[in-house]
């Protein structure tokens, strides 16, 4: 039975029957109440400044290619965003274990400093390696620390309402993906790139500090225990789910990275092509809320399996897009469904974790493995893009006729295989013919 917000406030953080010298027992899971929903608000701001930053890179890619790093190839420039996305997830294991051990305050200080410092150094960068280290490595590590803290802590406040809470938190990434690209472009046009990067740094600093004030830990620290919870990988349901999610994330970011050049290919104006990224992220905001709202009624695994299958089909249907109107429609539909993939996973890990105080470690382990899919997904897509693509008389790739069909076939197949893996997890837990909530 879920505990109401009022009941949770009555029980709050009382210590009941704990012998002297023994660790304090955690209070009952609130599933609501002022502290829990303030934690959700704080997690929202953390997501806005972490994964929201990754989904903003498209605007930097366009600027670097045409201006600041015009001597570098678009492929090399895209590695800045790929490394940033990879590190955002890869540092999850270290962050998750440190979070379980009670080092939240230190983690926040390090993560927020790296993000803000990285953007300030980006504003001073003039060479490729400088931007790579500042925005790719520094911001990527900082964002990873902040992201893991946000989703892990919020998950400990909810059991019956965890899906809705995670959806609200993850919607911050879509909001960041709408606000930041437009803000950066406008500031670049009026004040130049250095001030655009500094403005992002200042916005990050203010919003992260507010998020820290709202998001506080609930469980007592778990000082002892292994750095890796190897027992988790002895559970086939958890292991196959992680493999599936890795394949899903390998495909997920591809449309976000390539939407602008693809839109130019189908004849979209340069101005509208830029705003396609913001349109996709706006659709993802709703997509992160509605599936998670349904998940509280029909189950997290049921939702993530469904949206993965649908997302895979949509990626394959991208092959039929040849006009701007069709592109806008399929971009919105894809982002709406695929958006739930990024935030439903932690709720599933909560379902697969027998102990709440191990959620941080298991979520971190999951995202560390998933980061490998993020790292290789876009480079593979870039390699496919160049195959069987015609070149002009000077040997330069004709981007407008590049092999996008191969790119979306790769992404669609990867997403469908990911769905099959997740379906296995459901079968392993409840059986092949179980049709209830899970």
Looking at residue 277, which CATH number applies to its domain? 1.20.1250.20
The model's pLDDT over 361-380, given as tens digits with 9 standing for 90+, comes to 777 788 888 989 988 888 88
> In this structure, is residue 17 part of a structural domain?
no
> In this structure, is residue 438 part of a structural domain?
no
- DSSP assignment of 21-66 equals TSPPPPPPP-SSSHHHHHHHHHHHHHHHHTHHHHTTHHHHHHHIII
> In this structure, is residue 23 part of a structural domain?
no
> In this structure, is residue 4 part of a structural domain?
no
- Quickly tell me which residue has 């109107």 as its tokens: 325
Q: How many domains does the chain have?
A: 1
Per the DSSP assignment, residues forming a β-bridge with 390 are none
Is residue 410 within 8 Å of residue 384, measured between CB atoms?
yes
> In this structure, is residue 257 part of a structural domain?
yes
> In this structure, is residue 185 part of a structural domain?
yes
> In this structure, is residue 436 part of a structural domain?
no
Per the DSSP assignment, residues forming a β-bridge with 237 are none
The overall pTM is greater than 0.85: no
Q: Which domain holds residue 151?
A: 29-218+228-430
From first to last of its 438 residues, what are the pLDDT tens digits of the chain? 333 333 333 333 333 334 444 445 567 777 778 888 999 999 999 999 998 888 888 788 778 878 888 888 767 887 888 899 899 888 877 887 788 888 999 999 999 999 999 999 999 999 999 999 999 999 999 999 998 898 888 878 887 777 778 778 888 888 888 888 888 888 988 889 999 999 999 999 999 999 999 999 888 887 656 667 777 788 888 899 999 999 999 999 888 878 877 888 888 887 788 788 888 888 877 777 777 677 667 878 888 899 999 999 999 999 998 889 999 999 999 988 887 787 677 778 777 776 666 766 777 788 888 989 988 888 888 778 776 545 555 555 455 445 788 899 999 999 999 999 999 998 887 777 666 676
Is residue 91 within 8 Å of residue 111, measured between CB atoms?
no
């Amino acid at each position: 039975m879920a505990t109401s917000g009022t009941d949770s406030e009555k029980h709050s953080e009382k210590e009941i029957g704990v012998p002297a010298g023994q660790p304090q027992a955690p209070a009952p899971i609130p599933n609501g109440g002022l502290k829990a929903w303030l934690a959700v608000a704080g997690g929202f701001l953390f997501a806005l400044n972490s994964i929201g930053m990754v989904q903003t890179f498209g605007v930097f890619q366009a600027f670097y290619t045409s201006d600041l790093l015009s001597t570098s190839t678009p492929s090399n420039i895209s590695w800045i965003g790929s490394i940033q996305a990879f590190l955002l997830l890869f540092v999850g294991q270290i962050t998750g274990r440190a979070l379980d051990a009670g080092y939240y305050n230190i983690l926040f200080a390090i993560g927020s400093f790296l993000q803000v410092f990285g953007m300030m150094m980006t504003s001073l960068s003039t060479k490729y390696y400088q931007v790579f280290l500042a925005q790719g490595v520094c911001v990527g590590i900082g964002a990873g620390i902040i992201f893991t803290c946000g989703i892990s802590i919020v998950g400990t406040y909810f059991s019956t309402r965890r899906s809705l809470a995670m959806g609200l938190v993850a919607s911050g990434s879509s909001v960041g993906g709408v606000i930041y690209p437009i803000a950066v472009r406008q500031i670049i046009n009026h004040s130049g790139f250095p001030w655009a990067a500094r403005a992002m740094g200042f916005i990050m600093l203010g919003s992260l500090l507010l998020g820290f004030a709202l998001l506080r830990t609930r469980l007592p620290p778990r000082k002892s225990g292994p750095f890796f919870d190897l027992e988790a990988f002895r559970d086939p349901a958890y292991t196959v789910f992680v493999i599936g999610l890795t394949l899903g994330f390998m495909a997920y970011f591809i449309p976000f990275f390539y939407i602008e050049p693809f839109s130019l290919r189908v004849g979209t104006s340069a101005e509208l092509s830029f705003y396609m990224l913001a349109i996709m992220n706006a659709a993802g905001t709703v997509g992160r809320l509605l599936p998670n709202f349904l998940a509280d009624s029909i189950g997290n695994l049921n939702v993530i399996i469904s949206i993965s299958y649908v997302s895979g089909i949509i990626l394959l249907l991208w092959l039929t897009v040849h006009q701007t109107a069709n592109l806008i429609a399929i971009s919105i539909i894809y982002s709406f469904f695929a958006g739930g993939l990024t935030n439903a996973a932690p709720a599933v890990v909560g379902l697969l974790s027998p102990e709440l105080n191990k959620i941080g470690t298991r979520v971190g382990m999951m995202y560390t493995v998933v980061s490998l899919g993020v790292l290789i997904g876009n480079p593979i897509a870039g390699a496919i893009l160049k195959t069987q693509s015609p070149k002009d008389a000077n040997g330069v790739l004709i981007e407008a006729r590049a092999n996008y069909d191969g790119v979306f076939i790769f992404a669609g197949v990867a997403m469908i295989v990911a769905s099959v893996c997740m379906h296995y997890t459901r079968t392993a837990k409840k059986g092949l013919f179980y049709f209830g909530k899970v």
